[in-house]
Chain A
C-alpha cells in the first residue's frame, strides 16, 4: 500500500521567512515518482516538481528547493524568503496518492 503523510496541517509565517513543508511517504515500489503541487485559493492545482526515486539530488528553482532523502522516505519542500503570493495549500503526491496538504499562510 502507498501512503503520503503531510504532518503539518497549517503553517503561518511572516513575509521573508524561510519555511519547510514536510512530506513522508510509504511505498513498496523500488522505482517511483514523487510530486509537489500548489493549490492557491482559486482551486486549480499547479504542478511544481516531479522527482524520480533514482535521483536524490536536491533541486533548486528560484526561491523553491526540494530535499529528497530515500533513506528516510522524505521529500521536503523549502520556500526561501516567503512572499504573500506563496499562500496556498501545498500537496505532496506519490503516483495518484496525495497527502492531506499543508496550508501555508504568509503574512505581510
Chain B
C-alpha cells in the first residue's frame, strides 16, 4: 500500500523564480492538502483540493496556487519566490467521508519537499 509521495525531495531556487511541487496521495485517498513548515514551527495550512477544486484555503497570498488531477495527484505552484518561502512543504492526503461533514478526516503526510530560496 503506497503512502503519500512527494517530489522533488529538495529544491533550490532564486528569488523571483517559480516552482512546482508534486504530490501523489495514499492509495484510496481523494483529498490532498498542502502545508508550509518553516524551520522550528508547526505546519501552516495552505489549501486543500477535493474533486479537482480548491475547497479550503489558509492565509496565503495568491502567489500560491494549486491543481488536482483526475487521478487525485496534486501540484503546488509558487510564483515570484521570496526568501521567506524557504520551508518544508508537506502534502497530506485523506479520504473525504460524506458522512463526516467536518471534513477533518485523518490526514497522512508525505516526506515533504525542502525548498530553499536564495
Contacts and interface: CB of A to CB of B under 8 A. Distances in A.
Interface string A10-41: 00000000000000000000011101010000
Interface residues of A, number: 21
A24 B71 CA distance: 38
Nearest to B112: A43
B58 A43 contact: no
Interface residues of B, number: 24
Interface of B: 33, 35, 41-45, 48, 56, 58, 88, 90, 92, 102-104, 106-112, 114
Contact of B111 (A4, A44, A97): A44
B106 A31 contact: no
B42 A98 contact: yes
Contacts of B88: 43
A45 B3 CA distance: 12
A33 B101 CA distance: 12
Q: Which of A31, A33, A45, A97 has the most CB of B within 10 A?
A: A45
7 contacts: A45-B90, A95-B104, A96-B48, A96-B58, A98-B43, A101-B41, A101-B42
